[in-house]
C-alpha cells in the first residue's frame, strides 16, 4: 500500500490525473487567461493608468504574469508597478510601526493603520 501511495506501483503513470482537482485546473487556466487578457488591455494608456491606481496583482499572480507574458515592455510595466506599490507599502508599514511607539501614539491615526492588512493582501491575494 505504501508503494502505491508513493507512486511505485503499476498505476503510477495515472497518479497525476487522479490527484489533480478539476476545479484547481480550471482556476489556474482561467487565471492564466485573465492575465493574458489584462496584458493585452494594458496596451491602452487609459487602462494602464487605471491599473497603476489599483492595488495591482498579488505576489502569486504577479509571478504568474511574469511567467506568461513574453513582451519586455509588459513585463517591465508589471515589475515597475509592483516595485512602486511595494515601496509605498513599506512606507505605510514604517509609519504604522512608528505610531505604535508610545512616543508617537497620540498622533492622529490614518490609512497606515490598515497597512499590515494590505501587505498581507499584496502577499497572498486576500484577507479573511
Q: Along the 128 residues of the chain, how does pLDDT read in single tens digits?
A: 444 344 444 444 555 555 678 888 888 889 899 999 999 999 999 999 999 999 899 898 999 999 999 889 999 999 999 999 999 999 999 999 998 888 988 888 888 888 988 888 888 876 54
Sign of CA dihedral 97, 98, 100, 101: positive
pTM of the shown model: 0.70
State residue 5's pLDDT score. Answer: 40
Any residues with CB less than 8 A from the CB of 117 and at least 6 apart, and which?
A: 127
Amino acid at each position: 500500500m505504501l508503494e502505491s501511495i508513493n507512486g511505485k506501483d503499476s498505476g503510477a503513470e495515472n497518479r497525476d490525473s487522479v490527484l489533480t482537482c478539476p476545479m484547481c485546473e480550471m482556476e489556474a487556466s482561467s487565471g492564466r487567461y485573465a492575465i493574458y487578457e489584462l496584458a493585452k488591455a494594458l496596451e491602452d494608456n487609459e487602462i494602464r493608468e487605471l491599473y497603476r491606481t489599483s492595488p495591482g496583482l498579488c505576489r502569486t499572480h504577479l509571478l504568474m504574469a511574469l511567467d506568461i507574458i513574453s513582451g519586455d515592455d509588459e513585463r517591465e510595466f508589471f515589475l515597475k508597478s509592483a516595485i512602486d506599490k511595494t515601496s509605498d507599502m513599506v512606507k505605510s508599514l514604517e509609519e504604522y510601526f512608528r505610531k505604535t511607539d508610545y512616543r508617537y501614539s497620540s498622533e492622529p491615526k490614518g490609512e497606515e493603520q490598515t497597512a499590515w492588512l494590505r501587505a498581507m493582501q499584496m502577499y497572498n491575494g486576500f484577507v479573511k
